[in-house]
Amino acid sequence: MKKGSTYQYVLAAFGAAIIAVLAQVTIPLPLIPITGQTLAVGIVVTILGTRLGTISVLLYILLGAVGLPVFSGMSGGLGILVGPTGGYIVGFLVTAIIMGLYLDQFGITFVHAIIANIIGMIITLAFGTVWLKIVAEYTWTAAFMGGVAPFIVVGIVKAVLAAWIGVIVRRRLESAHLIEATA
């Protein structure tokens, strides 16, 4: 069943809401906290696909940019986007596009969803590390040690979890004819 554009934008808004809610799940670390944002981006893109997943991420970023407290720690505003964690948040947009395109190309299976989510993790960490190096004026080693190393294992776990949840939810939504089934 083909749904209208209003319905699709409501799905995208729900995706942004999921990201905002999971962003509040945080584990503090000295520099960059572990958050549920990356998990949420992976889940949302796996469920909604390239277009709606990317719209969800863009909406999330715009809501935070105008000051709504959707970023981790109930924060918001442009200051967050230009601060040390801003690169990760901006990277979510590229992550959504690349993950979605990968899933469009290879299909939404559990294995491909894991691969797409790991690719997404790498993209997010790369954007975050480059941004951290520039904004905090760190060396590449310091940026890597503070912005990548603590997140590798947890990132892989989140990638597998996002794939698992995303594929299950997507299949159930397809069965209920709430989203279009993939080929």
Instruction: Delimit the domains of the chain by residue range.
Output: 3-174
Q: Which tokens belong to 145? A: 């040690």
What is the rounded CA–CA span in Å between residue 1 and residue 7? 12
Residue 35 and residue 25 in contact, taking contact as beta carbons nearer than 8 Å: yes
pLDDT digits (tens, 9 = 90+) for 114-138: 999 999 999 999 999 999 999 999 9
Q: Which helix (H) or strand (E) holds 20?
A: helix 5-22
Q: What is the pTM of this model?
A: 0.93
Residue 101 and residue 146 in contact, taking contact as beta carbons nearer than 8 Å: no
Query: pLDDT (tens digit, 0 to 9) for every residue of the chain, 183 residues total?
Result: 456 889 999 999 999 999 999 999 998 877 788 899 999 999 999 999 999 999 999 999 999 999 999 999 999 999 999 999 999 999 999 999 999 999 999 999 999 999 999 999 999 999 999 999 999 999 999 999 989 999 999 999 999 999 999 999 999 999 999 998 875
Residues in the chain: 183
pLDDT digits (tens, 9 = 90+) for 91-118: 999 999 999 999 999 999 999 999 999 9
Look at the domain 3-174 and name its fold. Answer: Arp2/3 complex 21 kDa subunit ARPC3 (1.10.1760)
Residue 77 and residue 64 in contact, taking contact as beta carbons nearer than 8 Å: yes
